[in-house]
């Protein structure tokens, strides 16, 4: 009996102790997702810097063109803190696309057969999956929307996706391509309308005309290699912004600086230049602001953020040199933010310049196409002209010799000149003029791709 009482007493003591511990333990707070907060109608406010320390970037490729760009980027070098998403109305195309997440849009509307080059169908498909698109974009600090303009899905759905992103307070950048001129006026008109709609929905818009690819390729360049140049613009933009924010700097650039330049910016240029050796600063900044693929030029920009990355040998004079080139090309009253940091991934003596330029007067959409900037200095252009002149002169001299040889042979087999009277009113054409005329005819008939790249000259209008 005594043993039983002692046992019960111990049990009661244990129960009291457990109850006391439960009272002392704090209650777990109820978790609420950021998406739930977004559903209340209050958009997420911009933070001066991502709370988690690393900027979360999401790249969403819409339609066939956007999906292809995402796939090619995923096959390349892995990017830290970047998530790739593919969204399409074509089920078969979406299955072939790479992506961390995939969204099959407009299942009931298109039955997986695509939008048939109809932007209205693309828009309706995105609206049908609006909540799902919102879910995948949740938690991003920056969203890049990429697509090919001129089709149905990319043209119609991209403004809807941009609208969803901005409702969540996400910094939204569109990087899109315009169709080739050989694709016809109908596709060009669809693309133009789509660009105007998208521009109103994104913070910043980078436009790449597909025709510009021809200024960077040779005749033997494969299709995949050609489009990799376009992908490089997207990759540079994503990588450049991620590194600017996430890399601890000598002169720091934070998320607030990026937001100040990009928010509601409209037409934008994002470029990266890499160089090493003598004059590396000048070469790197020239490459960054002179991408022949971009539709706009840095000239007249009212907002510029540039950053210089180098190894431990980075000099203050080089920062000054880069700043001079940029400030000399932008609006005199432009707001300029700059940063500098050490990049361990760079090789010794390498220097990298990243430029984000915004705040252009009007829109480049309706403006005439910019001429592709020359890659030569004035001295180099002069040398190139002299070389071309000497080359053509040599060809003419050789041609003149050939004509004289032929005439000499012909003269042996013909009657004397007095037996063949010249026609009245016609003078005999000089050999050199004849050669020049023949050479000109050959050049007109010859494909421009048959001429070496360094000899191609644009025809004066």
Render pLDDT for 152-180 as a digit per residue (tens, 0 to 9). Answer: 999 999 999 999 999 999 999 999 999 99
pLDDT surpasses 70 at 297: yes
Q: Residue 325's pLDDT is what?
A: 93
By the 10 Å C-beta count (0-12 exposed, 13-18 middle, 19+ buried), 131 is classed as: exposed
pLDDT of residue 446: 52
Question: Could you say which of 3.30.390.50, 3.30.1330.20, 3.40.50.360, 3.40.190.10 is the CATH number of the domain covering 268-375?
Answer: 3.30.1330.20
More reliable by pLDDT, 431 or 244: 244
The answer to whether domain 45-246 and domain 268-375 are alike in fold is no
With contact defined as beta carbons under 8 Å apart, do 231 and 69 qualify?
Answer: yes
Mean pLDDT throughout 375-384? 44
Q: What is the pLDDT of residue 106?
A: 93
pLDDT value at residue 162: 97
Q: What pLDDT digit, counting tens, does each position of 30-55 carry?
A: 443 333 333 333 344 343 445 456 77
**What pLDDT is attached to residue 205?**
94
Give the separation between CA 182 and CA 171, rounded to whole angstroms: 34
pLDDT of 371? 36
Given a contact cutoff of 8 angstroms between Cβ atoms, the answer to whether 136 and 103 are in contact is yes
pLDDT, residue 401, reads: 65
Q: Per mean pLDDT, which of 193-197, 208-212, 215-219, 242-246 is the most reliable?
A: 193-197
- What local confidence, expressed as pLDDT, does residue 35 receive? 33
- Write the class of the CATH domain 45-246: alpha beta
Domain boundaries, the chain: 45-246, 268-375, 379-397+434-461
State the CB neighbour count (10 A cutoff) for residue 77: 7
CA distances from 382 to 378, 386, 387, 388, 391 (A): 6, 6, 9, 10, 14
């Amino acid at each position: 009996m005594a043993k039983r009482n002692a046992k019960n007493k111990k049990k009661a003591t244990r129960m009291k102790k457990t109850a006391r511990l439960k009272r002392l333990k704090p209650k777990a707070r109820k978790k609420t997702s950021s998406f739930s907060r977004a559903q209340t109608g209050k958009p997420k406010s911009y933070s001066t810097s991502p709370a988690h320390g690393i900027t979360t970037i999401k790249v969403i490729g819409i339609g066939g063109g956007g999906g292809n760009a995402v796939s090619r980027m995923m096959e390349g070098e892995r990017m830290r803190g970047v998530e790739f998403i593919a969204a399409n109305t074509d089920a078969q195309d979406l299955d072939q696309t790479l992506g961390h997440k995939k969204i099959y849009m407009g299942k009931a509307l298109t039955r997986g057969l695509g939008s048939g080059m109809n932007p209205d169908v693309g828009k309706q498909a995105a609206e049908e999956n609006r909540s799902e698109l919102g879910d995948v974009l949740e938690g991003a600090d920056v969203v890049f929307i990429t697509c090919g303009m001129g089709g149905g899905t990319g043209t119609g759905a991209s403004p809807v996706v941009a609208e969803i992103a901005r409702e969540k307070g996400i910094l939204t950048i569109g990087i899109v391509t315009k169709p080739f001129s050989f694709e016809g006026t109908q596709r060009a008109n669809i693309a133009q309308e789509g660009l105007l709609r998208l521009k109103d929905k994104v913070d910043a818009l980078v436009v790449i005309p597909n025709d510009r690819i021809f200024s960077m390729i040779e005749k033997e360049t494969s299709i995949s290699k050609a489009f990799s140049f376009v992908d490089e613009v997207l990759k540079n933009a994503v990588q450049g912004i991620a590194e600017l924010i996430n890399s601890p700097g000598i002169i720091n650039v934070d998320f607030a600086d990026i937001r100040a330049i990009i928010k509601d910016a409209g037409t934008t240029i994002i470029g990266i230049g890499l160089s090493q050796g003598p004059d590396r600063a000048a070469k790197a900044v020239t490459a960054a602001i002179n991408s022949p693929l971009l539709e706009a030029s840095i000239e007249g920009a009212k907002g510029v953020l540039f950053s210089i990355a180098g190894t431990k040998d980075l000099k203050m004079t080089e920062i000054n040199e880069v700043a001079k080139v940029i400030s000399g090309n932008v609006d005199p009253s432009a707001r300029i933010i700059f940063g500098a940091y050490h990049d361990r991934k760079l090789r010794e003596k390498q220097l990298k310049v990243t430029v984000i330029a915004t705040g252009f007067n009007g829109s480049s959409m309706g403006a005439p196409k910019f001429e592709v900037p020359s890659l030569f200095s004035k001295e180099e252009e002069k040398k190139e002209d002299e070389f071309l002149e000497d080359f053509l002169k040599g060809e003419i001299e050789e041609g003149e010799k050939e004509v004289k040889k032929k005439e000499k042979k012909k003269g042996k087999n013909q009657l004397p000149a007095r037996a063949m009277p010249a026609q009245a009113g016609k003078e005999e054409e000089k050999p050199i003029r004849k050669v020049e005329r023949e050479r000109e005819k050959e050049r007109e008939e010859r494909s421009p791709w048959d001429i070496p790249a360094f000899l191609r000259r644009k025809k004066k209008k």
